């Protein structure tokens, strides 16, 4: 008998941030416009599974309208897809796992899987012509979520001895992932292909202006952590990017801030093709053959790692990922120039510019009626910034930094450091109390203080 091939296709998306506002503007209509395109593309492509990799909502406590919008999206997506195609949804750091999964048991019979906890079994297994593809799913791993998992699985607490590195080893995301991967690793050989969906920050990834890596880098996970998976679908960062062969962020489906206005936005269509040997109906993962391309304007672009997109290498055979562009209802644009120039530019348009606008004015003096003038020609004007003020603030900040350096080691410097630390602790307590409606417990404060002191000493 001759060997034959079979393939699985996935839609990979993340960071919907439903309920997001931009400078006070409710983006619900913009989000509905983009989500309708997702449904249409899903109906056209008919993938074997859809992965939504975290940050479904923009807030831990989503509004009623946000819940309705997501519910409508899930219902439309379910209708557009084949019934056997699972929809897998992960909570991200912006989500409340319990709130996102409140109807998980109700949705499971219709093949919608809301992952509300860490698990070491696949959330779904796809079967086709003797091949089996396992989808493993990890939500954003908080310290509390990991402790619940550790106790449930009977694992010992993470320890690093009595050295100064003990808190770091116990608290960092890398340690959490290492523990979980150690448990998953021996189980992967049961399947022809293994796909991981996760919400995390991978070291070396490009971040946008509004995104920051965590204090001290404690939340960074190495790309090597995911060795052995055939594809890793990531959420958390809004820029669409490949981290390493087979490890991708889909990015957000639409721009979340003016700094993202020029970025390519959309989702990823992943095709995994494998050879089925005539004498084996379930070949292990290392027999997988993939074909990779980045499809923008129907072109095949070899990856930056130097992988031959046609033949691949022994360790990383090529595979295919197609970028699906989603078009915004309103683009996010930054305009730069004097007030006169921007007004003249707007007046010269055949019809008003309906995009969301943030203007940088280069006038050397502030003009108090500038916003009122600009909104007459740019009806969706959302932000106004002045070069002259930003230069002034930058100069003031530089002078403060120079003064701090000159007085380094003095009593005044020690007082400032103490005051800054106390202020951080005060803000953290207030924020945690607001979110959790209770004071932070001792373990959480210990975690925060360890990270804070680590950053101060860095």
| Residue-range domain boundaries for the chain | 4-325, 332-389, 407-457
Q: Which CATH architecture has domain 4-325?
A: 4-Layer Sandwich (3.60)
What is the residue-wise DSSP string for 202-231? ETT----TT--PPGGGTTEE-GGGGTT-SE
In the prediction, which pLDDT does 49 show?
A: 98
Question: Residue 404 pairs with which residues in a beta bridge?
Answer: none
How would you write the pLDDT of the chain (458 residues) with one tens digit per residue?
A: 567 788 999 999 999 999 999 999 999 999 999 999 999 999 999 999 999 999 999 999 999 999 999 999 999 999 999 999 999 999 999 999 999 999 999 999 999 999 999 999 999 999 998 899 999 999 999 888 999 998 888 876 665 444 444 444 456 889 999 999 999 999 999 999 999 999 999 998 988 776 654 434 447 899 999 999 999 999 999 999 999 999 999 999 999 999 999 999 999 999 998 877 655 544 444 434 443 333 333 222 223 332 233 333 444 434 799 999 999 999 999 999 999 999 999 988 888 899 999 999 999 888 889 999 999 999 999 999 998 888 777 776 565 555 555 544 444 444 444 567 777 888 788 777 656 656 788 778 888 888 887 776 65
In the prediction, which pLDDT does 54 show?
A: 95
**C-alpha R_g of the chain:** 25
Q: 266 CB contacts (<8 Å, ≥6 apart)?
A: 240, 250, 251, 253, 323, 324, 325, 326
In the prediction, which pLDDT does 307 show?
A: 29
Q: 96 CB contacts (<8 Å, ≥6 apart)?
A: 60, 61
In the prediction, which pLDDT does 212 show?
A: 57
d(CA 175, CA 187): 20
In the structure encoding, which two tokens stand for residue 440, read together?
A: 């932070």
Using the structure block, give the residue that is written with the tokens 């009595």.
Answer: 162
CA distances from 279 to 1, 253, 366 (A): 8, 43, 78
d(CA 53, CA 139): 8
Kind and range of the H or E run holding 384: strand 381-386
Helices 442-457 and 143-153 pack at an angle, to 10 degrees, of 120
Q: 212 CB contacts (<8 Å, ≥6 apart)?
A: none
For 448: left if phi > 0, alpha if psi spans -120 to 50, otherwise beta; the answer is alpha
């Amino acid at each position: 008998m001759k060997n034959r091939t079979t393939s699985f296709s996935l839609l990979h998306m993340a960071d919907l941030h439903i309920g997001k506002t931009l400078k006070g503007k409710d983006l619900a209509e913009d989000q509905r416009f983009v989500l309708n395109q997702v449904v249409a593309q899903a109906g056209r492509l008919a993938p074997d599974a859809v992965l939504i990799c975290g940050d479904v909502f923009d807030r831990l406590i989503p509004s009623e309208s946000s819940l309705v919008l997501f519910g409508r999206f899930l219902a439309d997506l379910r209708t557009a897809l084949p019934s056997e195609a699972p929809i897998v949804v992960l909570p991200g750091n912006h989500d409340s796992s319990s709130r996102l999964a409140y109807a998980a048991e109700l949705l499971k019979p219709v093949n919608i899987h809301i992952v509300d906890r860490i698990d070491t079994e696949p959330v779904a297994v796809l079967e086709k012509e003797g091949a089996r593809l396992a989808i493993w799913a990890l939500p954003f791993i908080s310290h509390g979520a990991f402790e619940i998992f550790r106790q449930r699985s009977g694992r010992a607490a993470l320890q690093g001895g009595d050295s100064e590195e003990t808190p770091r080893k116990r608290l960092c995301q890398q340690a959490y992932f290492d523990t979980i991967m150690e448990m998953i690793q021996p189980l992967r050989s049961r399947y022809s292909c293994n796909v991981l969906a996760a919400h995390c920050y991978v070291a070396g990834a490009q971040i946008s202006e509004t995104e920051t890596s965590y204090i001290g880098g404690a939340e960074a996970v190495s790309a090597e952590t995911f060795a052995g998976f055939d594809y890793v679908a990531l959420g958390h960062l809004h820029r669409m990017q490949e981290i390493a062969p087979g490890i991708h962020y889909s990015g957000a489906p639409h721009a979340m801030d003016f700094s993202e206005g020029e970025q390519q936005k959309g989702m990823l269509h992943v095709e995994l093709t494998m050879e089925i040997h005539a004498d084996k109906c379930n070949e292990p993962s290392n027999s997988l053959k993939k074909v990779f391309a980045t499809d923008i304007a129907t072109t095949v672009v070899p990856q930056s790692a130097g992988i031959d997109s046609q033949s691949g290498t022994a360790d990383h055979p090529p595979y295919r990922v197609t970028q699906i562009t989603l078009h915004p209802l309103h683009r996010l644009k930054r305009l730069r120039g004097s007030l006169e120039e921007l007004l003249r530019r707007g007046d010269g348009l055949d019809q008003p510019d309906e995009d969301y606008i943030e203007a940088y004015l280069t006038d050397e003096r502030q003009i108090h009626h500038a916003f009122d003038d600009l909104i007459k020609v740019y009806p969706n004007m959302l932000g106004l910034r002045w070069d002259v003020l930003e230069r002034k603030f930058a100069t003031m900040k530089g002078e403060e930094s120079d003064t701090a350096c000159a007085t380094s080691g003095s009593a005044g410097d020690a007082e400032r450091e103490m005051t800054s630390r106390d202020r951080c602790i005060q803000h953290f307590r207030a924020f945690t109390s607001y979110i959790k409606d209770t004071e932070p417990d001792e373990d959480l404060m210990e975690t925060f203080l360890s990270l804070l002191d680590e950053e101060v000493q860095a």
